[in-house]
Amino acid sequence: MNSSSKKVDKKRRVVITGLGVVSSIGIGVEEFWKNLIAGKSGISEIESFDTSNFPVHKGGEVKKFQPEDFIDRRKIKHLGRASQLAIAATKLALQDTFLNNKETQEAGVFIGTTMGEIQELENININWLKNGITNIDRNSIYLFPTNAISINVAIRFNFNGWNFLMPTACAGGNYSLGYAFDLIKNRELDIAFAGGSDSLSRIAFTGFNRLLAMAPDKCQPFDKNRKGMMLGEGAGVVVLESLEHAKDRGAKIYAEMSGYGLSCDAHHMTQPTSEGVASCVEKALANSSITAEDIDYISAHGTGTGQNDKVECSAFKKIFGDRLKTIPCCSIKSMLGHTMGAASALETIACCLVLRDQIGPPTINYKTPDEDCDIDCIPNSAKKITASTVLNNSCAFGGNNACLIFKKNGG
């Protein structure tokens, strides 16, 4: 992204030292990972709002989240749900990396999102219609501005460094990591908390239903009979820092982020192109100074919609050729649903754990092979793999593509 005017230090390496997860299959990295490799589905009946007027009633709702476990009870009412999820994921990442308050004072915050705090705007509209405009709580204005999510994370933990909200929809988490990566490479930052957060909302649920993009009960990425995506919610935050900083404090290192690529299809608001996705992957490989032959595992965007899965596989074939059939290529959205701005951040966390444990999580609900998606999607059951370099691909409305590459342990 070339986020600074300073020259990038190509020798400075960037590593991931902390992981924080709030998801429909687990809160905390180990519960998340245990359920992910077990192929557990987080799809259930939605309880946060009435879905009786919709054809779909299920989603990846986080049912066990208790904000008071992470936030002072007195402050919860002043935070939208997406901020609550982001704060919880950040706290978990902070606990995982063992940084103290002094070390993180100048840390940066970078959060991706699709809907921001849209559910808070929904609540204002509901109260307006029921009680009139003069009875709306004036403090509610602080709850829904999109940048409230990254600001609330900074306020909660007193992070005084760079602060950005990336509204690049379903690729927002990867965009956030890319921006943080640049700043650390540029020596603008030593530590960054980067990821994504989104909560379920009526507006998002309505929108994807009206686009006819929703499956009735399950997500089946790459399956010939796939019927669409399942909407989800959650937050994923990782700690990025320079390798020398991590080594100096004796931090554990999950992975090294070696580079990223961005592209815009400039084609259509909802329909991706294989050329745009392939361009993004090519840029990520070049930025990482590696070739397609080096990739051992792919975390696919894999929404379960007919067009997206077909286009993504077509793009991968352009890059990897016949070798694609031998590269494990999973979509964890089959279990989580599509968590929008949190999706690629949660997939980054999964990539780090794939490198740590050498296990590829499954793409569940897979039954019928599709000739247009003839890849090794790790159908239904996790498997042992050998992976030193992995790729995390994400796409978003408007053709915003972001691809990250990670290597095993930055030591």
* Residues 328-337, mean pLDDT to the nearest whole number: 98
3-state secondary structure of 298: strand
The predicted-structure confidence for 192-238, as pLDDT tens digits, reads as follows: 999 999 999 998 999 998 888 999 999 999 999 999 999 999 999 99
Can you point out the beta strands (E) in 167-293?
A: 191-198, 234-242, 255-264
The answer on pLDDT for 249 being more than 80 is: yes
Can you point out the beta strands (E) in 135-292?
A: 163-166, 191-198, 234-242, 255-264
Q: Kindly state the percentage of the chain with pLDDT values over 90.
A: 81
275 band by pLDDT with thresholds 50, 70 and 90: very high
Q: Indicate the class that CATH gives domain 14-248.
A: alpha beta
Continuous segment of H or E residues that includes residue 108: strand 108-112
> Facing residues of 240 across strands?
16, 192
**For 259-408, CATH number?**
3.40.47.10
Environment class of 392 (CB within 10 Å of its CB; exposed 0-12, middle 13-18, buried 19+):
buried
Q: What's the rounded Cα separation, in Å, for the pair 268 and 330?
A: 26
For residue 346 the two structure tokens come to: 């949660």
What is the residue extent of each domain of the chain? 14-248, 259-408
The answer on pLDDT for 101 being more than 70 is: yes
Q: Are the C-beta atoms of residues 74 and 224 closer than 8 Å to each other?
A: no
Q: If you ran DSSP here, which 8-state letter would residue 6 be given?
A: S
The answer on pLDDT for 122 being more than 90 is: no
Continuous segment of H or E residues that includes residue 91: helix 81-97
The predicted-structure confidence for 78-92, as pLDDT tens digits, reads as follows: 899 999 999 999 999
Q: Are the C-beta atoms of residues 56 and 216 closer than 8 Å to each other?
A: yes
* Residues 154-167, mean pLDDT to the nearest whole number: 96
* pLDDT score at 62: 98
* pLDDT score at 149: 96
Amino acid, single-letter form, for residue 148? A
Q: Kindly state the percentage of the chain with pLDDT values over 70.
A: 97
The predicted-structure confidence for 35-52, as pLDDT tens digits, reads as follows: 999 999 999 999 999 999
The answer on pLDDT for 167 being more than 70 is: yes
Do 14-248 and 259-408 fold alike per CATH? yes
The answer on pLDDT for 9 being more than 90 is: no
Q: What's the rounded Cα separation, in Å, for the pair 192 and 95?
A: 14
Catalytic residues: 170, 301, 338
* pLDDT score at 119: 73
Q: Using DSSP, how many helices (H) and how many strands (E) does the chain show?
A: 13, 15
> Facing residues of 20 across strands?
237
Task: Give the predicted TM-score (pTM) of the model.
Answer: 0.94
CA–centroid distance for 156 within its chain? 21
3 band by pLDDT with thresholds 50, 70 and 90: very low
* pLDDT score at 1: 61
Q: Are the C-beta atoms of residues 32 and 51 closer than 8 Å to each other?
A: no
